[in-house]
Structure 1
Amino acid sequence: MSERPTVLVIDDEPDLADLYAAWLTDEYDVRTAYGGEEGIDAMDGDVDVALIDRLMPDRSGDEVLDRFREGGYDCRVAMVTAVEPDFDIIEMGFDDYLVKPVRRDELQEAVEALLSRSAYDRQVREYYALVSKRAALESQKGDRELADSEAYAELVADIDRLRGDIDATLSEFTADDFEAELRRLDEDG
């Protein structure tokens, strides 16, 4: 990633939103929104991770999350809230749930993990697209024609490189990351 990832912090307590932003600003481009409606307005396709408080007076974090998903935004979302989790979270489309008070290292690790999951998701999609192209060529072209093709050789090299990138990304995952990815795959499938 050549550009710094963008993190959107949405919390109706400005001091807390600003604190989270200060903790993250060295590594990420951080936007802050001081309420649910402002958070909806601040969302766009550049946001990689959104950190959303659940209890806000103008719009709840649940409503904000629903609007993001309805709008087709594919960013990773962590609910960062004082609300203890209950069974209602099972159906919610977030990727992580942090209960306040949240420590600096906990918040930074959560954002890093969410970005790793996004990288993995993009890598897997790209990998399967390339493998599909290779399979199509191999079903229609002979061995000699494939061996003589520079474009095919580059495709195979890209597949190998991407497989290595996926393995490297997977090595960063924790058990919670795997569980979250499996839930996401189940939702998407």
Structure 2
Amino acid sequence: MPEPGARSDSADAARDDATVLVVEDERALAALYEEWLADEYEVRTAHAGRDALDRLDDAVDVVLLDRRLPGLSGREVLGEIRDRGDSCQVAMVTAVEPGVDVLEMGFDDYLTKPATRADVRRLVSALVDRKQYDVCVQRYFRLLSKRAALEREHGDLADRPEYDDLRADIAAIEAELGGLVEEFSVADFDAQFRSLPSASGAADD
């Protein structure tokens, strides 16, 4: 069982397996982001809004999205992602300074260009952790529901090895959640627990 507060093997594996979609119309910049991230993540690139949506599937964990794109704008792409119910984390990486309009946009983070290698890697790392946290929370509540159902139906389960396995799984998830929470910055907590309004509107940026 992992020590409380320690990252589990499954958390590290989730990071290694994470897929990032870079949506950037400047091809040289998209290639640079890919170079910065490729040692740790699977990276896909798209250079237009429609292309980005075509390249997006359930395997994508993080989207780095420019606001100014040919065809569909970044805002429109973001709106479509949220309308489709995709579970990926989306960060706007853009030269557009944030204004009050961002209150109506359902992104998970916002990074203003020019961005350094350290900026981009730190951003993606935080977003992968946030998504992993969401996954862990969902699994945690599923396990708690199973435990509650069994205890209601069967009472004392102390002599059942399956029940012991379930309790061990719950403890392991609690340790993993603790490790992820310890790595959150103040900004991570703000993004994780503040409900952002749903993306709406299709105005070009």
Q: Answer yes or no: same fold by TM over 0.5.
A: yes
Match of 1:51 in 2: 64
2-structure distance, mates of 1:39, 1:142:
52
Say if 2:137 is the partner of 1:151.
Answer: no
2-structure distance, mates of 1:186, 1:126:
25
Corresponding letter in the other structure for 1:84 = E
Q: Which has the higher helix share?
A: 1
Structure 1: unaligned runs, 5 residues or longer: none
Seq. identity, %: 49
Corresponding letter in the other structure for 1:180 = A
Say if 2:121 is the partner of 1:100.
Answer: no
Offset at 1:184?
4.2
Corresponding letter in the other structure for 1:130 = L
Q: Specify which structure has the bigger relative contact order, considering alpha-carbon pairs within 8 angstroms and separated by 6 or more residues.
A: 2
1-structure distance, mates of 2:129, 2:32:
23
Corresponding letter in the other structure for 2:44 = R
Alpha-carbon contact 2:36-2:121 (below 8 Å) kept: yes
Corresponding letter in the other structure for 1:164 = A
2:176 pairs with one of 152, 165, 169? 165
Alpha-carbon contact 2:46-2:55 (below 8 Å) kept: yes
Q: 96-105 or 32-41, which moves further after superposition? A: 32-41
Match of 2:125 in 1: 112
Alpha-carbon contact 2:143-2:170 (below 8 Å) kept: yes
2-structure distance, mates of 1:4, 1:150:
32
2-structure distance, mates of 1:138, 1:107:
47
2-structure distance, mates of 1:176, 1:136:
37
Say if 2:85 is the partner of 1:72.
Answer: yes
Match of 2:149 in 1: 136
Match of 2:202 in 1: none
2-structure distance, mates of 1:44, 1:106:
25
Match of 1:24 in 2: 37
TM-score, length-scaled by structure 2: 0.86
Query: Considering only aligned residues, what root-mean-square deviation do their CA atoms show, in Å?
Result: 1.5
Q: 13-22 or 178-187, which moves further after superposition? A: 178-187
TM-score, length-scaled by structure 1: 0.93
2-structure distance, mates of 1:142, 1:62:
53
Match of 1:81 in 2: 94
Match of 2:203 in 1: none
1-structure distance, mates of 2:56, 2:117:
23
Distance 1:30 1:108, change over 3 A: same
Offset at 1:147?
1.0
Offset at 1:72?
2.1
Secondary structure of the residue aligned to 2:194 is: helix
Structure 2: unaligned runs, 5 residues or longer: 1-12, 199-205
2-structure distance, mates of 1:4, 1:122:
14
Secondary structure of the residue aligned to 2:170 is: helix
Secondary structure of the residue aligned to 1:44 is: coil
